[in-house]
Structure 1
Amino acid sequence: MQNRPLTPLLALVLAAALAVTLFPVFWVVMTSLKPPTDWNAAPAIWVPSEPTLANFRTLFDPSALEAYGLSGVSQPATPAILGSLLAAVLATLLSIAIGLASAIGLSRYAKLSKWTPLVILSGRMFPPAAIAVPFVIMFSAVNLIDSYAGLIAIYVAVTLPFSTWMLKSFVDDLPREIEQAAMLDGRSRLMAHLLVTIPLIKGGVFATTMFIFILNWSEFMFALVLSYTSVTTIPVQLAKYVTATAGTLYGVQAALAVLAMLPLILAGYAIQGHLARGMTFGAVKR
């Protein structure tokens, strides 16, 4: 099958789509470099004439904006950055580990009915606001409110349906004969899966890991209702940059948003080969 030639019209459509997609990123980056006088300027200032790093400094030194006559930033963003990193990484690893074991079990050893997909994915069919209150009540009873253990537990619970079903699709596309050949060579079922199944679907595992990490890294609702003072994350911290004198600190919010994007960009670049393979794994059926 030959590639479709890039016509001028198609190039124009792709350029327009790229511009629309990247404009929010451009605007956030530019806002993070604007001094406070440019945040609410009318007409809007697209590119600051005097860019500043004061917004980024404010994330770690709340007094950095006092040079512009602004005050009221009460706490640095360091605890939120570290909290998001800890919760997202641990929750992603647990979700992938449990989801991978479940995916192999469902794909290889379970007799599934037509209702199985509905049962597995039913946990994601409700909006977070609908299930947040029951979780708050349960976690209050076992003293998991405002703790990393509670936050990680809820992250695992809400992402496990995704990780299980996505990984199951990759395992389904792997011929059983490969595992059977390993067992004929003397491997146990467990070792056949560890040494054969998982390495052969590593592209799918990496792709699923990236997807789950993005969900955990950007989650807001559960982090808001389950954390108070001891635990905080970047999405919750973004909502705190509002002062009585200056209102919403758009530049500081944009600076934190830029820092929040960096792990996703770096991780995506580092595993782009595996990610591309994982997203197309199973596109051609046996």
Structure 2
Amino acid sequence: MKPPFYTLAAKYAVLLFASAVVLYPLVWMTAMSFKPYSEWTTVAGVRWFPTQPTWDNYVFLLQGHVDSLAVTIEKTLAKPLFSSLVTSVCGTLIAVIAGTLSSYAVARFGVAQKLPLSLLQLRLFPPLAVIIPLMVMWSFIGAVDTWWGISLIYGIVTLPFAFWLMKTFFEEVPVEIEDAARVAGCSYWRIFYRITLPIARPGLATCTLFVFIMNWSDYQLALILTQKDWVTLPVYMSSLNTALDNQMYGMKAALGVIAAIPPIVLGLLIQKHLVRGLTFGALKQ
């Protein structure tokens, strides 16, 4: 039976409202990134879109200065962007690989039954409660302001999330499939690599995206564990407050647009697995 017209109208109205709420800050940030200095500091009124679009905000981030502004910055965007990419990707690989292997062992073989709760404790403690001993430990091993030190802590911090998420996905995979493969003579590793992991691929893609976003957007750990060589994008954005009376809105908006590109690109690359990963229970049908 076809639903009444007012029901469909109400659904579309809710969807349009939710889309507007989500897209409003993105549209505003993108428009702000193309506004010249005279428009994002004006008091004559707020304009949605720039009347004189310019690339000056992006040029300023890449070169450290533009002709229209009598201000410069010492550090440009290139190195923080590279630092964020390296540390986020490496931290994501550590968390996803370790979380996938350990969660499969717990879900299928019942080993280390206390491991799930032990990993969960890493997320229960606030970062400020462990940051002092962490800083002392990282200083002792020479990991402060290094790419591998930041990547390692990113992998450790996001490991519980990856573990619990992949454990849920592996528990959704029918165990009868693995039993049939084992009867046919497949080894445990071959079963995991050739059968279970391809079935759980949507969950693995979803886990990778979420873990990458968590590492990519981290500010607190990067602020404490970086000094100058491996400063990430969130820390670099805070340094833009030191010029133009803390009103570098156009540059910050341009940096926000650039920072949003890698997660969006990763989401587009795995979009065919993303919806299935978010509704993995469909495997039971």
Report the TM-score range of the alignment, normalised by the length of the smaller protein.
over 0.9
AA at the equivalent of 2:15? L
Q: 1:275 to 1:245 in 2, by over 3 A?
A: closer
Aligned counterparts, 1:145-164, within 5 A: 145-164=144-163
Q: Return the alpha-carbon distance in structure 2 between the equivalents of residues 34 and 267 of structure 1.
A: 28
Equivalence for 1:58: 60
Residue in 2 that maps onto 1:184: 183
Alignment of 1:198-277 (within 5 A): 198-277=197-276
- What amino acid does structure 1 have at the position aligned with 2:63? D
- The one-letter code sitting in structure 2 at the alignment partner of 1:13 is V
Matched, 1:26 2:44: no
Cα offset for 1:63? 1.7
CA shift digits 1:149-187 (9 cap, x unpaired) = 110011001100000010000111111121122222221
Contact persistence 2:83–2:231 (CA under 8 A): yes
Letter in 2 for 1:197: T
Q: Distance in 1 between matches of 2:77 and 2:211?
A: 23
Quote how far apart the aligned CAs of 1:7 are.
Answer: 2.0
Q: Is the deviation greater in 19-28 or in 104-113?
A: 104-113
CA 1:255/1:3 → structure 2, altered by over 3 Å: closer, same or farther?
farther
Select between 164-173 and 261-270 the one with higher mean Cα deviation.
Answer: 261-270
Q: Residue 156 of structure 1 aligns to a residue in which SS?
A: helix
CA distance in structure 2 between the partners assigned to 1:224 and 1:3 by the alignment: 53
Q: For each residue in 1:71-121, what CA deviation from the matched residue of structure 2 results, as whole angstroms up to 9, or x when unmatched?
A: 1322111000111111111111111111010011110112676x7654332
Query: Aligned residues, how many?
Result: 283
- Is the CA contact (8 Å cut-off) linking 1:31 and 1:254 kept in structure 2? yes
Cα 1:172/1:232, change in 2 over 3 Å = same
Contact 1:72 1:243 in 2 (8 A): no
Q: Give the Cα–Cα distance (whole angstroms) in 2 for the partners of residues 132 and 39 of structure 1.
A: 38
Provide runs of 4+ in structure 1 moved above 6 Å. 1-5
**263-272 vs 67-76, which deviates more?**
67-76
Partner residue of 1:107? 107
In 2, the alpha carbon distance for the partners of 1:123 and 1:173 equals 25
Distance 1:102 1:54, change over 3 A: same
**Cα gap change, 1:179 to 1:242, in 2 (>3 Å):** same
Bigger Cα displacement from structure 2, 159-168 vs 85-94? 85-94
Question: In 2, Cα distance between the equivalents of 1:124 and 1:283?
Answer: 29
Deviating more after overlay: 175-184 vs 199-208: 175-184
Q: Output the amino acid matched with 2:54.
A: T
User: Is the contact made by 1:169 and 1:282 (CA closer than 8 Å) also made in structure 2?
Assistant: no
1:171 matched to which residue of 2? 170
Say what the alpha-carbon RMSD is for the aligned residues.
Answer: 2.1
* Structure 1 residue 259: Cα displacement: 0.7
Counterparts of 2:204 and 2:21 in 1: how far apart (Å)? 30
Offset, 1:18: 0.9
- Flag the structure with higher helix content: 2
Contact 1:33–1:55 (CA under 8 A) maintained in structure 2: yes
State how far apart, in whole Å, the 1-side matches of 2:128 and 2:247 are: 25
**8 Å Cα contact 1:129-1:221 kept in structure 2:** no
Of 39-48 and 53-62, deviating more is 39-48
CA distance in 1, matches of 2:46, 2:136: 45
Unaligned runs of 5+ in 2: none
Deviation per CA, 1:220-279, whole angstroms, max 9, x where unpaired?
Answer: 110110000111111111111123444331111111110111111121112111011111
Q: Normalising by the residue count of structure 1, what TM-score does the alignment of the two structures yield?
A: 0.92
Structure 1 partner of 2:88: 88
2:8 aligns with 7
Taking every aligned residue pair, what percent have the same amino acid on both sides?
34
- Taking the aligned partners of 1:168 and 1:3, their CA distance within structure 2 comes to 39
Following the alignment from structure 1 to structure 2, what is the Cα–Cα distance between the partners of residues 284 and 205? 15
Alpha-carbon distance, 1:284 to partner:
6.6
Q: 2:4 and 2:89 mapped to 1: Cα distance?
A: 40
Moved more, 120-129 or 262-271: 120-129
